[in-house]
Amino acid sequence: MTTLAAGPATRRRRASSTVWRVLTYLALILIMAPAAWLLIGVLARAWSHWQWSVLWTTLTPTGGGLRDQILGTLILMVGVFIIAGTVGVMAGIHLAEMARPNKRSGRLSGPLRTASDILSGFPSIVLGYVGYTALVVGLHWGFSLAAALIILSIMVIPYIAKTTENSLRQVPTGYREGAEALGMSMGYSLRKVVLKSALPGIVTGLLLALAIACGETAPLIYTANFAPTLPHSLTHASFPYLTYVVFQYYNAPQANYHALSYDAALILVVIVLLLLVSSRIIVARTQRHAESARGAGGGRRRRRGGGAEDEPLLGITGAPPR
């Protein structure tokens, strides 16, 4: 190689390749640096004055803690988990197992899927406004937990449906065929075979949806408003949550409130990190199980992915992009 004299075309090609390589690294740095700055910045701002009592004292006009805001956010997450989790998973089951592909084009489309896709890209503030108009004012619920839960759930249902559908599609067709060959009814095989092996993916999707839900602010301002302490009723009572504290208190007149705003930001980041890390652990554990079941080489196949020659014959996983 070195003995050959490189012509101008070769030199240009080598140079373009080097430039490309440098640019890709530069792009990675330009993304990583602000991300790291953001995480460290949030941590540093809150850490300099951190007091653990923030976690168990309530908000007062001069300062205090964020106990009820944290609980409020957790209650919202549990509610969304129950409502959006049920509806979203069932919708995903329908999209993956029951909706038939279009006979002529063979493509999976149709109004239901389109509606779900559009809803997942729908601006959250618009949903918040609809919640305000229809639930808070229209149904006379007032600013309330109920209105906030419904709007938040509608926001994340398409997301859960999508992740459920995708993880159901990862279940090898052989499992379903085997179940049918054993004479299982469709419902029984869904319950005992298909859903069981798709469960890790579904749970991961649910956790990520919760991460989205706990970080929302705009639709909550329109539906839950804000309260310093937890109310005792589902309707007609404003509801506390963390994101509002971040949004409103960083430039509040009381200096104590600035600290609360940074604390709330840190707590939110910690909640999101816990959710992401646990979803990561679930994925890693299932991959390990899958690899031990498939025998050696499963790991590499997962990484390289998509090579048609090493896919199981009946598998529908990793279909090539076209």
- Looking at residues 175 to 234 of the shown chain, list those that interact with other proteins (rule: CB under 8 A): 175, 178-179, 182-188, 190-193, 196-197, 200-201, 204-205, 208, 211-212, 214-218, 221-222
- Binding window for other proteins (CB under 8 A); candidates: 51-59, 139-147, 227-235, 302-310: 302-310
Neighbour count for residue 269 (Cβ, 10 Å): 16
Least Å from the CB of residue 53 to other proteins: 22
Contact 145, 237 (CB under 8 A): yes
Binding of residue 101 to other proteins (CB under 8 A): no
- What angle do helix axes 145-169 and 195-214 make, rounded to 10 degrees? 140
Alpha carbons 32 and 36: distance in angstroms, whole number: 6
Which member of 50, 64, 74, 129 binds other proteins (CB under 8 A)? 129
Type and span of the H or E element at 320: none
Binding of residue 320 to other proteins (CB under 8 A): yes
Least Å from the CB of residue 232 to other proteins: 26
Q: Which SS3 state, helix, strand or coil, does residue 219 take? A: helix
Closer to other proteins at the Cβ: 232 or 251?
251
- Binding window for other proteins (CB under 8 A); candidates: 17-25, 53-61, 64-72, 227-235: 17-25
Which among 241, 246, 196 is positioned nearest to 222, based on CA atoms? 241
Binding of residue 49 to other proteins (CB under 8 A): no
Binding of residue 278 to other proteins (CB under 8 A): no
Binding of residue 276 to other proteins (CB under 8 A): yes
Please name the residue that has the structure tokens 């919708």. 91
Ramachandran area for residue 194 (φ above 0: left; ψ -120 to 50: alpha; else beta): alpha
